[in-house]
Structure 1
Amino acid sequence: MDIQKVAVITGASQGIGAGVVEAYRSLGYAVIANSRTIVASDDDLVIAVPGDISDPAVADRVIETAVERFGRVDTLVNNAGIFIAKPFLDYTSDDFDQALAVNLGGFFHVTQNAVARMSAQRTGHVVNITTSLVEYANSSVPSALASLTKGGTAAVVKSLAIEFASRGVRFNAVSPGIIKTPLHAEESHETYAALHPMGRMGTIDDVVHGVIYLEQAPFVTGEFLHVDGGQSAGN
């Protein structure tokens, strides 16, 4: 009997997250899709679980839904995140609290719950969506809070990859450049494109291909896959 594999995807209502949902469905996975604004899907194998993933109760509900409906969790894609571009001295306490809650809290609670299931299964995969600005800062895009918080979810990949390698659970990260999503106004696209050595912004498909590569590479763990048009290579 074939096992119905299950992917949990956060930040799934639009942009990269919505693209990742489609990609995992095309691979035959059932999907638990979370975001604050997610709506029910016509696809019986896409289960929407609305709520703020930084809330531990929501994180619990997301994983419980996967287990109740399908009995397992095979992949978790931690895509939910916020990016607040301000000079460091302009950040407020509210900015800090919000970035900490979503970018770190939104990773921590759901990942603990998912990995507990994966560890018991002796198989699983966690992918964190970060940003190349963590390693390649750019004066045109002030990003200290992103570096502080998304940088944490990047750094923890190697630690968890080693901790859980013997239990069959892999951890990887996709580090995108600036991606053409609804978050970026069209009038800014030319400026953002010029920040990449390849001379264009990334697309949602570019990031999705990176996630799926890692999904289908069973001997890859603890890896940072840069999908950034050469940003991290230099300028």
Structure 2
Amino acid sequence: MKNKTVIITGASTGIGKETAKLFIAKGCNVVMNAANQDNLLNTYKELGAPSNAVYLVGDISKQETGKQLVALAIEKFGTVDVLINNAGIFAPKPFLEVEENDLELYWNVNLKGTYFTSQAAIPYMVAQQSGSIINIGTVLVDHAIAGFPATAPLMSKGAIHTLTRQLAAEFGKDNIKVNTIAPGIIRSPLQGKIGIEDADSLAGLHLLNRIGEASDIAEAAYYTAFSNFVTGETINVAGGHTVGHAI
């Protein structure tokens, strides 16, 4: 799939970084985005400052950022073939402690970021009668854990799962595929941010009795991006997390 143009939000760390690395290595043109300028620049350099990649610093919760990402993709590479809405935030907080600003934060970054960036990309995909959008959700939408209360972020992720199905229905006639990848516990900087010092201690949540790697999600994203007959699906990449538990 060389020369296909892929926009990846949240591309400076974790899943986004590994996904950018894979798509770049496969010869795709990649537009990388993150809100943290230092992290994004460091990642771009770490990946070798490849000629088939550019980057744009911007807050994905701002509608203008999505428009700028699409404009940059068109300017540099001429098309927008794949959009991976990876940027997001997530942290546990008991339901009775959630405040209005918590809901607004997750709504803005997770849902609005996905919504408006998709809204910016789809007209170009309609014009070329092809495209793929991949949203990043979570298995916790369908598999709640009592000891991990996270109603605020899960509401926004659940909305993303729903948005995926509706967009798949609305734009299927235009040959635009829209899917969600729902990761299980993945080894990434997110674990440390939410206070999990040993991510491997959560291995038992998965039937494979291990946590996932960012590369597992990147590989699933690559398959989904270029699959011709998969749309409207939520693809659990979670080692059996939603099926049962290893004990």
Letter in 2 for 1:175: A
Distance 2:199 2:96 in 1: 26
Q: How does 1:72-221 map to 2 (within 5 A)?
A: 72-185=79-192, 187-221=197-231
Deviation (angstroms), 1:96: 1.1
User: Which structure 1 residue ranges, 5 or more long, are not aligned?
Assistant: none
Equivalent in the alignment of 1:55: 62
Distance 2:130 2:233 in 1: 17
Q: Given that residues 27 and 52 in structure 2 are in contact (C-alpha distance below 8 angstroms), is that contact kept between their aligned partners in structure 1?
A: no
Q: Given that residues 127 and 171 in structure 1 are in contact (C-alpha distance below 8 angstroms), is that contact kept between their aligned partners in structure 2?
A: yes
Q: Given that residues 133 and 143 in structure 1 are in contact (C-alpha distance below 8 angstroms), is that contact kept between their aligned partners in structure 2?
A: no
Letter in 2 for 1:17: G
Deviation (angstroms), 1:3: 7.8
Distance 1:26 1:3 in 2: 10
Letter in 1 for 2:13: Q
Letter in 1 for 2:237: V
Distance 1:60 1:126 in 2: 15
Deviation (angstroms), 1:43: 1.2
Give the 4+ runs in structure 1 shifted more than 4 A: none
Q: Given that residues 175 and 227 in structure 1 are in contact (C-alpha distance below 8 angstroms), is that contact kept between their aligned partners in structure 2?
A: yes
1:26-85 CA deviation, whole Å, 9 max, x = no partner?
221110100012215411221110010111111111111011111110000000011021
Is the partner of 1:140 in helix, strand or coil?
coil
Distance 2:202 2:239 in 1: 11
1:72-129 CA deviation, whole Å, 9 max, x = no partner?
1000000001102111111122211110110011111110010111011100000001
Letter in 2 for 1:4: N
Give TM-score, length-normalised by structure 2. Answer: 0.90
Give TM-score, length-normalised by structure 1. Answer: 0.95
> How many residue pairs were aligned?
234
Equivalent in the alignment of 1:224: 234
The percentage of aligned residue pairs carrying the same residue is 35
Distance 2:236 2:188 in 1: 18
Distance 2:199 2:94 in 1: 21
Q: Given that residues 174 and 211 in structure 1 are in contact (C-alpha distance below 8 angstroms), is that contact kept between their aligned partners in structure 2?
A: yes
Letter in 1 for 2:30: V
User: Which structure 2 residue ranges, 5 or more long, are not aligned?
Assistant: none
Equivalent in the alignment of 1:33: 32
Mean Cα deviation higher: 120-129 or 206-215:
206-215
1:131-188 CA deviation, whole Å, 9 max, x = no partner?
0000011112212122210111111111111111111110011000011101213633
Equivalent in the alignment of 2:19: 20
